[in-house]
Chains A and B, each alone.
Chain A
Amino acid sequence: MMGNIDWTEIGQATLDTLAMLGGSMVLTVLLGLPLGVILFLTGRGQMLENRLANGLLSLLVNILRSVPFVILLIVMIPLTVALVGTSLGVAGAIPPLVAGAAPFFARLVETALREVDRGVIEASFAMGARRRQVVLWALLPEAMPGVIAAATVTAIALVSYTAMAGVVGAGGLGDLAIRFGYQRFQTDVMVVTVVLLLVLVQVLQMVGDRVVRRVSHR
């Protein structure tokens, strides 16, 4: 039944998936959060309204989001090599993962910020807040439950992206599933990797939900 399973290999693949996920998630938040904030602030009727900047950023986000991830992986290979020196392994997977997830996360952040009551922003200005204080002390904290929920959704999307990254030699559970489970008809390997990915997604969702409840006081 479980004859094909090499647990060391599965352990290594799991660690690779976690490394890809962790590394790309950190960078996705670091890039996507400011991008989402800028998208929001330069939007119509907002405090830094700027149609040109908003239009250009929006176009960039839409382009990255409309390219299927498998294609993005391949198209980005030259850029990936230039950035991290290789297009293989965990390091080689991270640039395309971030390029795929950061625009997605940025859009979700923008939506979360739009949900913030405009009255709270107005009240902050009325109390003598600077713009930067309004953004950092009122807007972002008020949007925090939405931002955390967005991060959860993004992390889960990244799990499926990491599986796809296996196609171009990134390693990890997805790679294992394709090479052994699919190409060598080792169904047991397929089942184990899928179960591990499922557990990973469950854990991410549970942790995300818990943190949202923690920071939400509505």
Chain B
Amino acid sequence: MIAFEAVSKTYAPGARPALDGVSLTVAAGEVFGVIGASGAGKSTLIRLINGLETPTSGRVVVDGDDVTALGVEGLRALRRRVGMIFQHFNLLSGRTVAQNVAFPLKLAGRPAAEVKARTAELLARVGLSDHAAKYPAQLSGGQKQRVGIARALATGPKVLLCDEATSALDPETTEQILELVSNLNRELGLTIVLITHEMDVVRRVCDRVAVLEDGCVVESGSVEDVFLHPASETARRFVREADGEPAAGVGLEGRLVRLTFRGEATYRPVLGEVARATGVDYSILGGRIHRLRETPYGQLTLALTGGDVEAAIARFQAGGVRVDPITPGEGA
């Protein structure tokens, strides 16, 4: 649905590029996350998709159209197929909730009767039918973002771009908005690209993720892989931010290993079974049990001592548990 082909973007001649040779693809119907610190190039990346920014080199292809080659009218047509929501909502303060939602339809010159019916339908979808006549200043942050979402959906887009859409919201509201976004993905088959600096957002809603640092994609893959086995230092840092610092295990006896359980294995009493069968003792140095979208997972850092450590590791692996050796001080 969306493809970046060696895309670079430099704002001023000679300046450090905001994006440097980024290539990635987003499949139709998936939720794709881009995570990075501020200044990593996330905002630029998402704005290249609907042509709010133009690349200095490379191509961006969205729904079969080369965004950079589109004229003014082509770009307008594309933007009706690509909705966007924002961190600060960007609602028109002088228009009511209903008028805000109707705005993209009026811009497209749709007949009044259609605008009215569609607006009512959209407000019902985001649960704001009772607030149609209010002005944005009278709404809470979560309600404002719902208006933003309804507005972004007005022209029936195939793609929804979320620009730090939950960064200005409290945790509870964030949860509600992410759930709404997930539902839209499932029910409407919407392709979603979201940028964020919070790994937690990625973990809750994304199928795949790209980690951006200094304008380059340093890691990408399924959320499970990146989250459970981050390969880059940047990804590890984001995972630590989401989960807290695990115990380092410095100065402990024995073999340090990290076990990763996914799906059903998470709930089986594997540790005890293996310990009894092989005579290995274990100390738990750190651990987490959580969910990635619908998949439960657990990760434990252990120090294994005594007994047959090799046999224990083999048994873990046979039981569907991934075992990674770790060196003290490396962290999870």
Contacts and interface: CB of A to CB of B under 8 A. Distances in A.
Interface of A: 117, 119-120, 122-130, 133, 137-138, 141-142, 144, 215-218
A218 B137 contact: yes
B2 interface: no
Nearest to A123: B90
Given A122-B52, A128-B107, A129-B107, A215 B79 contact: no
Interface in B14-64: 50, 52
Across the A-B interface, the 10 shortest Cβ-Cβ residue pairs: A123-B90, A128-B79, A217-B135, A119-B90, A127-B104, A126-B84, A128-B76, A129-B107, A141-B94, A128-B80
A215 B94 contact: yes
Given A125-B52, A217-B94, A218-B137, A119 B88 contact: yes
Contact of A217 (B79, B137, B155): B137
B164 to A, nearest CB: 11
B92 A128 contact: no
25 contacts: A117-B88, A117-B90, A119-B86, A120-B92, A123-B84, A123-B90, A124-B103, A124-B107, A125-B79, A126-B50, A127-B80, A127-B151, A127-B154, A127-B155, A128-B80, A128-B104, A129-B76, A130-B72, A130-B107, A138-B92, A142-B92, A144-B94, A216-B94, A217-B135, A217-B137
A119 B50 CA distance: 15
B103 A127 contact: yes
A112 B38 CA distance: 30
A124 B104 CA distance: 8
Contacts of B104: 127-128
A186 B107 CA distance: 62
A89 to B, nearest CB: 41
B93 A218 contact: yes
Contacts of B84: 123, 126-127
Contacts of A126: 50, 52, 79, 82, 84, 161
B107 A120 contact: no
Contacts of B95: 141
Nearest to A120: B90
Contacts of B239: none
B91 interface: yes
Contacts of A217: 93-94, 135-137
Contact of A142 (B76, B86, B94): B94
Contacts of B252: none
A217 B94 CA distance: 6
Contacts of A218: 93, 137
Contacts of A216: 94
Contacts of A144: 94
B90 A128 contact: no
B69 interface: no
Contacts of B90: 117, 119-120, 122-123
Nearest to B148: A123
Interface string B96-139: 00000001101110000000000000000000000000011100
Given A122-B52, A217-B137, A141 B88 contact: no
Nearest to A130: B76
B86 A123 contact: yes
Given A119-B86, A126-B84, A127-B79, A133 B137 contact: no
Contacts of A119: 86, 88, 90
Contacts of B72: 130
Contacts of A133: 107
